[in-house]
Amino acid sequence: MTTDQQASIQGGLFGEEPLTAKPADEARISQIRDFIRLYDFQYYVQDAPTVSDNEYDGLFRELQALEAKHPNLVTPDSPTQRVGGSPVKAFSSITHRVAMLSLNNAFGDDELNAFDKRVREGLGINQVEYAVEPKFDGLAITLTYENGYFTQGATRGDGYTGEDVTHNLKTIRSIPQRLNIQNPPKLLEVRGEVLMFKSDFEFLNQQQITRGDKVFANPRNAAAGSLRQLDPNITATRPLSFFAYGLGASEGVPHLLTHSACMDYLESLRLPVCDLRAVVSGAGGLSGFFEKVGALRSALAYDIDGVVYKVNSLAYQNELGFVSRAPRWAIAHKFPAEEALTVVEGIDVQVGRTGAITPVARLKPVFVGGVTVTNATLHNEDEMRRKDVRIGDTVSIRRAGDVIPEVVSVMLNMRPSNALIFTMPSNCPVCGSHISRQEDEAVARCTGGISCKAQRKQAMIHFASRKAMDIEGFGDKLVDQLVDGDLANNLADIYRLDFNTLASLDRMAEKSAQNILDALIKSKKTTLARFIYALGIRNVGEATAKDLARYFGSVEAIQNADVDQLQQVPDVGPIVAESIVNFFAEQHNREVIASLVKPAEEGGSGIHWDAVIAQSGASGVLSGKTLVLTGSLPTLGREDAKALIEKAGGKVSGSVSKKTDFVVAGADAGSKLAKAQELNVNVIDETDLLRLLSEQ
């Protein structure tokens, strides 16, 4: 900023009187707020401060004094309201207006080229323009601005529901409380990443050491832990930063044609965006950007674990759509996982919730991928034998992001003469039951079932996890005590726990016991999809649980479905269907589920959810029909159109084939329309679709 510009600012913002003119208190409050917002933007976003700390602090103290004198003039967006607020007992849930879905990953040139080929073929063009940017290693969040004011912020959560961390986000000074625009949009959702810069992380850990507190393993863990503090005053002491990388729902935003235009728009609102972004063409442009960022990675002020490629045209993004839980128009290109050498000090086995017996290498501690690693999975007996891992070997360990560390290879030239071959046990080390292995499976399993405490423990930990029933504080150590003490032998027993039982456990004070009871009560209001996922049915993950809930609408319908009926659900094949049928064939499982959903006044746990309308569409007007959407649908919009089609029994596909019954073509329809005409598939418009749907 030039001297003349600085003098102009000091002479007054937005036509206000200069500082020396002593305006009325209300005008002065408005003036100081504008100064502080500008200085925060220059310091925290542009990294180019124009005033000294003393000048800034003086203005801030003056504002505090004036607001104390006139409390009626205090506004939610005032800089003084960033810090403080009362602690909360637990975060409430927020349903995202637009889902925050995850990205598929590419780990090499072959997968990158395959992505570009899929995009080109899907659009029917020879060259695609991509917006490219770093992939931050932090915590994904969404910010909601209404009429220009920051009103709510949430974590990504499971992509559909996140945690309300508004008060904590207000403490991050790079996040503006008010947008820098004269006529702000009615609604603007900003997607981005909360992270901690490397230098700030080192400073924070030095403070932790000075106070005798636990140090953080890496910047990502420090950022995530800081943002999820129940007391915003603690978050306010942590040096968190933010980068915006996209838009969610919006209303009143200018007509933007590309992702890069969206980023420019966010930057104009004084939202922090990364300057290491570009627009490139084709697979060659993607790999060139990847190499450039990879060379800069170690010198960056923040951690990244790859780069993100997005089709730049928003119209093309709309045409490509989504597959399962990820967009077809974007992908994350991950950097090669970090590796380090260490020694295998022992090998033992772990028992999973489905009885899977997994050999685990116990390692001499080694720092890799941002954390100290002491264990690494060997996956299964065949994999352990193939790599010839022995006790005493020096091995290469790999860890990428949150992936469980694994043994990559053995340094045979460093093998000691006394290295021991590990023999897999024939009986479960926890319950003593026989271990068996099916011919078509690589994994051996404990046959103990519910009698095996290890399986019970893992089932409870999964049931209480954040993406399942989300029971805050219900962790490994608590589950160990409950199962080992025979205080909880199945999932329904969790909800029979009382205050005295919990308070009597080791390291469980009265406050902690009450917090667990409160969390159990809160968890009883859930969704059908979460409940299905929480049951821990083999091969049923989050996405499949959502598909099952949407298709059948009730637990009863799912547990009474046969293999053929289950395979009518999108993405459910014979293996998954067989797993579901086998799970519900166990009378014990049915009894536990009945107890969980029975009302509390009838002696059950009282777990409940809002009614779900089954979308199997057995009698719907579009039953058994496959439709493809292309182009813009101004009346319905693509998401609402898809929901109505599925409700009517139809299936929405992302590509046109001979099996397609209808292609719904809107304005600016692309290659899918041409493909439909080539294959003589029925082409209808939005009006025709509405007419079809009205015939139900």
Residue 677: predicted pLDDT = 85
Q: Do domains 449-523 and 528-609 have the same CATH topology?
A: yes
Count of CB atoms situated within 10 Å of the CB of 124:
13
CA dist 74 and 97 (Å) reads 30
Residue 88: predicted pLDDT = 64
CATH superfamily of 626-693: BRCT domain (3.40.50.10190)
Task: Specify the 3-state DSSP secondary structure of 258.
Answer: strand
User: Would you say residue 338 has pLDDT above 90?
Assistant: no
**Residue 45 DSSP code:** I
Which stretches within 137-258 are classed as H helix? Answer: 166-169, 198-211, 219-227, 232-235
Q: Which two tokens stand for residue 242?
A: 């933010």
Residue 615: predicted pLDDT = 66
List C-alpha distances in Å: 178 to 171, 184, 259, 673.
14, 9, 23, 43
List C-alpha distances in Å: 396 to 108, 227, 298, 336, 361.
20, 34, 22, 14, 12
Q: What is the average pLDDT value for the chain, to the nearest integer? A: 87
User: Would you say residue 556 has pLDDT above 70?
Assistant: yes
CA dist 539 and 577 (Å) reads 9
> Phi first, then psi: what are they for 354, rounded to 5°?
-100, 10
Residue 21: predicted pLDDT = 35
Which residue type occupies 135? Answer: K
Residues annotated in a binding site? 53-57, 102-103, 133, 156, 193, 310, 334, 428, 431, 452
pLDDT in tens, 631-673: 877 777 777 788 788 777 777 877 788 888 999 988 777 778 8
Of all helices (H) and strands (E), which one includes residue 665?
A: strand 662-665
User: Would you say residue 194 has pLDDT above 50?
Assistant: yes
Cross-strand bridge partners of residue 246: 191
pLDDT band at 517 (very low <50, low <70, confident <90, very high): very high
Task: Give the total residue count for the chain.
Answer: 696
User: Would you say residue 16 has pLDDT above 60?
Assistant: no
Task: Specify the 3-state DSSP secondary structure of 190.
Answer: strand
Count of CB atoms situated within 10 Å of the CB of 518:
14
Cross-strand bridge partners of residue 278: 132
Q: Which of 648, 641, 595, 643 is nearest to 618 (CA)?
A: 648
Look up the CATH number of domain 449-523. 1.10.150.20
Of all helices (H) and strands (E), which one includes residue 402?
A: none
Residues annotated in a binding site for NAD(+)? 53-57, 102-103, 133, 156, 193, 310, 334
Strands 93-95 and 161-163: antiparallel
Count of CB atoms situated within 10 Å of the CB of 18:
12
CA dist 444 and 578 (Å) reads 18
Highest mean pLDDT among 100-109, 238-247, 666-675: 238-247
- Is the CB of residue 349 less than 8 Å from the CB of residue 360? yes
Q: In the CATH hierarchy, which fold is given to the domain comprising 338-424?
A: OB fold (Dihydrolipoamide Acetyltransferase, E2P) (2.40.50)
Residue 633: predicted pLDDT = 79
Q: Which of 434, 373, 432 is nearest to 400 (CA)?
A: 373
pLDDT in tens, 427-436: 999 999 999 8
pLDDT (average), residues 51-65 = 80
Count of CB atoms situated within 10 Å of the CB of 105:
15
pLDDT band at 23 (very low <50, low <70, confident <90, very high): low
Domain 105-334 listed as CATH 3.30.470.30: yes
Residues annotated in a binding site for Zn(2+)? 428, 431, 452
Classify domain 528-609 by CATH architecture.
Answer: Orthogonal Bundle (1.10)
Which of 222 and 46 is assigned the larger pLDDT? 222
Write out the DSSP string of 507-554. Answer: T--HHHHHHHHHHHHHHTEE-HHHHHHHTT-TT--HHHHHHHHHHH-S
Highest mean pLDDT among 270-279, 445-454, 604-613: 270-279
628 exposed, middle or buried (CB, 10 Å; 0-12, 13-18, 19+)? Answer: buried
CA dist 187 and 488 (Å) reads 47
pLDDT (average), residues 212-230 = 86
Q: Which of 650, 670, 662 is nearest to 686 (CA)?
A: 662
Q: Which two tokens stand for residue 312?
A: 């730049």
- Is the CB of residue 592 less than 8 Å from the CB of residue 490? yes
> Phi first, then psi: what are they for 140, rounded to 5°?
-75, 135
- Is the CB of residue 322 less than 8 Å from the CB of residue 101? yes
Among residues 69, 117, 135, 457, the one annotated as catalytic is: 135
Q: Is the dihedral of CA 300, 153, 644, 609 positive or negative?
A: positive
Angle at 575 between CA 376 and CA 610, to 5 degrees: 90
CA dist 625 and 268 (Å) reads 46
The backbone region for 565, taken as left when phi is positive above 0, alpha when psi lies in -120 to 50, beta otherwise, is alpha
- Is the CB of residue 123 less than 8 Å from the CB of residue 321? no
Edge to edge, the sheet with strand 304-311 lists: 105-106, 330-334, 304-311, 129-136, 278-281
Which of 693 and 253 is assigned the larger pLDDT? 253
Task: Specify the 3-state DSSP secondary structure of 460.
Answer: helix
Q: Which two tokens stand for residue 691?
A: 């007419």
Tell me, yes or no, if 659 is annotated catalytic: no
**Can you give the C-alpha Rg of the chain in angstroms?**
28
Angle between helices 219-227 and 198-211 (to 10 degrees): 70
Domain boundaries, the chain: 3-81, 105-334, 338-424, 449-523, 528-609, 626-693
Domain 3-81 listed as CATH 1.10.287.610: yes
CA dist 347 and 386 (Å) reads 16
Place of tokens 């496959």: 626
User: Would you say residue 6 has pLDDT above 50?
Assistant: no
Strands 444-446 and 105-106: unpaired
